[in-house]
Every structure is written in structure tokens, then in C-alpha cells.
Amino acid sequence: MIIKKIVPLLTLLLVGAGCTKKESLPENSKPETQSTVNKTNKGSENKITPGLYSLDYPSLVSNDPIKKIDLVINEIDYELDGKTFKRWVYTDKNNTPYYAGMPLILNKGQQATINVTNNTSADTNIHWHGLALPNDQDGPGLLIKKNGGTFTYNFTPDYTGTYWYHSHNRPVRDQVDNGMYGPLVILDDTDKTYTNDQLLVLDDWVVNNEEGHMQVEGDVDTVNGLTGQDIEPITVTNGDKTKLRLVQAATAKSTTLYFPEEVLITHTDGMPLEKPVYTKEITLAPGERYDVEMILSGKQDKTLEIKNDRDQGFSIPINYRYDAKQKNVPTFTKSTTTPKEIKTGDKDLTKPDIFVEMDSQMSSNGHEWTINREVFPDTESFDLKKDKPYVIRFKNNNHMSNHPMHIHGAHFKVLSEDGVPLTDAIWKDTIDVSPNGYTDILIQFDRVGEWMLHCHILDHEDGGMMTTINVA
Ligand SMILES: [Cu+2]
């Protein structure tokens, strides 16, 4: 009854929701210079085109111990749903229109040297979401100055998997919502077995109207920065085994995807599942990633689609082509990669060491989002020891809103949800806690430093639902 234990969790992760708003850039950061992208300007690096983030695995393998990447943050004109507005984008020196951010692709064990140039009129920084890195290479605490400021990040990820990167400079929502994000993949040996390997970065933008009050939600849903008929189809044959790397970049709204046939969930937030799960739908809360395998068969060509849960949502076309000469019959992967383990000895995992209660309140400052009844930076912080296991209980006291809680600097294992233990391991870096629900996790930091813990509905984070974990 593994499935029964896991599926409700995965389903729960996606219920509820936040929102994202793409509004015009904040008043104090209007672009001073404008750049217009050329849609036909194809990205040369990694052979990734603006709308179809297809990872051409053989071409990406390099034996260089260090991958040098020039990452440029620009302000561009962005056309969406018939309107043109300003947004920010993570791109390269050629201003290639990576509408969901330039994909950063590393090989297993490869060091990244990332030279960032900030051409926008807002100070910023970058958080490498899901990677456990030295504290001084990640996000908050750094500042990449506006109007040409630079910073060089150096790190070597410990693990493979699907991650993403985004601004963590407050107000974080303003920056991420206006495009400061991109996907980040560390290739695993098993990725060679896929004939198709595609990134699908999900978001929603406020284009026609403003909605939401507790958080800002968009009204135009995008896949890799495109919407409607512009969304590029995925073409597969009966010989293909396709990997889809789903990244939820929306700042508030969760999205449920419906697949035409069962797919196999192999990874959550970059980490392999102990027991992969078959499903036809997945909900992604802000900040979450899921990797799935898709294998289609049949002796006739067909056009299918992956849809989401909104009337004005999106449809990702799948063009299936039958090739009679194709002898390869793909099968779902039996993953040989396992996540790390945390040694807990005789520790009682049913007794939390740390309680994190999420709630909201009205004050003279308006609507505030709280952790243990306080607003960041006045929230209670937690002092932990490196290489020592801790149980954290996230308890959501809101009856209306979910809270996808994210911790920097370490993955964690989900122990139980609403008191029901999981039988098979699920590792996450962002766990969506349902209204009135509670979730226990097990975490152990390998790295010292001050790490953030916050809600990934970024209006909640900016509104106070954040604290720090100090690891010594
Ligand atoms: Cu929240």
C-alpha cells in the first residue's frame, strides 16, 4: 500500500494555492535601458531554443572539470497574450530569449563558475534552489548591484537532479514574479537512457487584470515562457522514453497537470523516489519540481496533450508518431540512484525538535504572515548543529491558504503528514503544508551557516513568513 501512502502526499502537495502576479516592474526600478529580444535568435549554448527546453544529452557532456557560464540579467520587452510589457530575464551575453530563464546544465561532479552581470535597475542576488552549497555562494547576504554590478559564483553541487535558481532579494516576489528565475539541471548517469529530455517551466503572469489579495496571481499561464498556441509541441515516437522535468516557478499559484496516459514520477525536488509512482496527474506548488518518465505506444499517429487545471490554462501538445521500423521498446527506468540517508540511531522521530507554526494576522501594518506568531525579521530563529538529525514539525494554522515551506542548504526527508507516517522515502526541499494540516520532516545539515526557512508563496515570505536556521 505504498501507493496509497505516497499518492495522497503528492496530491496534497499540490492542493491549495498561491498565486503569481506579473505586473509592470516596480516604480523604483523601471528599466533605464531597454532591450528587445528577437524571437528567431536561437540560443547556441546547449542547443536550447526559447520555447522548447530540450536537453540534448550527448552534446551537453563535457569532460571539463569546470563549466564557465556567463549569466546576464537583462530587462526586455516581453510579448504575452497580445500585450507587450517589461520584464527581467536571465540570459546570456547575446540576450537570447530564454523566456523561462537560461537553463544551466552541469554534469555530475562538475564545478560551476558563474559570472553574473546585473544590467537591471534593481539590486539583486541569486539563490540556487535545492542545492546544498557553501553558505557564502548562495542567495541572501550577497548583493549584485544594479546597472552593471557583477558577482562570480563558484560551487560544485553534491547531487544530480532538477533544480532552479532565482532572486532572493526582498521583496523577492517582485523580482521572481517579473522573471528573475531559470532552471538548473545536474545530469545523472541514468539520464543517458532517455531519448527525449525536456524542461517544462511553469508560471503565470498578470497580463489582463489583477487578482488576488493575500497574494498576487497571474491570469495567463505559461510553459517555458510561452502561452496558448505558442507553446511548442513535444514530438515522440514508439521508441522514445521521454523525461519531463517539471519546474513550478509561479510565486503563488499551484498548478495541477493532467497527463493523457500514466507517467512515472521518479524524482521530487531533484531527489529520486525510493519507490517511483505511476500517476496521471501531479500538482506543483510554488518552488516544487517533479521528474516524470513518459512512454507512449500504439500503431497509429495521434495528437495528445498535457493540460492544467484552469479554464484559461495551457495545453502542451504531444505529437505521437508511430514508426514501424522502430524496434526499441522502452521500459520505465528502475532507478539505481538513491538519496542520501540520515542516521538517526535511537532518536524518537515522532517527537519534533522544532515547531514551526504558520499563520496570518492583521496588524497596524496590514496583513502579516507569521511563523510562531512573529513577522520576519523578528521571527524566532533556530540554532542547530552540523551533522546532527532534527525533526521539524510544520503546522499550518490557516484554514484558507496552503504554505509551501522551503529550507535552504539541505534536502529533507518527509516523515509523516497529519500524523500518518510515510512508508517509502520522499525527499524534498519544498513541502506544501495544507490548510489546517501538519507535516513532520527529518533534516540534517552538512554545511554551517545561516540558512533561510520560508514560505514559497512569495507574498507570504515578503509579508513575514520567514526565519533563519543557524547551523554551527
Ligand atoms: Cu505561505
pLDDT per position as a tens digit, 327-348:
888 888 876 667 778 999 999 9
Q: Encode 294-309: b = buried (16+ Cβ within 10 Å), e = exposed.
A: bbbeeeeeeebebbbe
Distance of CA 53 to CAs 45, 183, 204, 281, Å?
Answer: 12, 10, 18, 21
- By residue count, the chain amounts to 472
Q: Report how far ligand 1's centroid is from the alpha carbon of 455 (Å).
A: 5
Distance CA 213, CA 401 (A): 12
Distance CA 296, CA 305 (A): 12
Q: How confident is the model over 77-90, as pLDDT tens digits?
A: 999 999 999 999 99
Q: Rounded CA gap, 171 and 284, in Å?
A: 23
Tens of pLDDT along 139-187?
A: 777 899 999 999 999 999 989 999 999 999 999 999 999 999 999 999 9
Instruction: Give me ligand 1 centre to Cα 299, in Å.
Output: 47
Q: Is the pLDDT of residue 386 over 60?
A: yes
Phi and psi of 290, rounded to 5°? Answer: -130, 140
What's the rounded mean pLDDT across residues 311-340?
85
Calculate how far, in angstroms, residue 394's C-alpha sits from the geometric centre of ligand 1.
Answer: 12
What gap in Å lies between CA 109 and CA 189, rounded to an integer?
Answer: 11
User: Rounded to the nearest whole angstrom, what is the distance from the C-alpha of residue 457 to the centroid of ligand 1?
Assistant: 5
| CA separation for the pair 291, 162 (Å, rounded) | 7
Tell me the CA–centroid distance for residue 419 and ligand 1, in Å: 21
| Of residues 258, 215, 201, 247, the one with CA closest to residue 401 | 215
Distance 16 CA to ligand 1 centre (A): 10
Kindly report, residue by residue over 440-455, the tens digit of the pLDDT.
999 999 999 999 999 9
C-alpha 172 to ligand 1 mean position (Å): 13
Residues 6+ apart with CB under 8 A from 348: none
Q: Which domains does the chain have, with CATH numbers?
A: 354-471 (2.60.40.420)
CB 431 within 8 A of CB 425: no
Q: Is the pLDDT of residue 5 over 60?
A: no
Q: Taking 90 as the threshold, does the pLDDT of residue 407 lie above it?
A: yes
Residues 346-357: pLDDT tens digits? 999 999 999 999
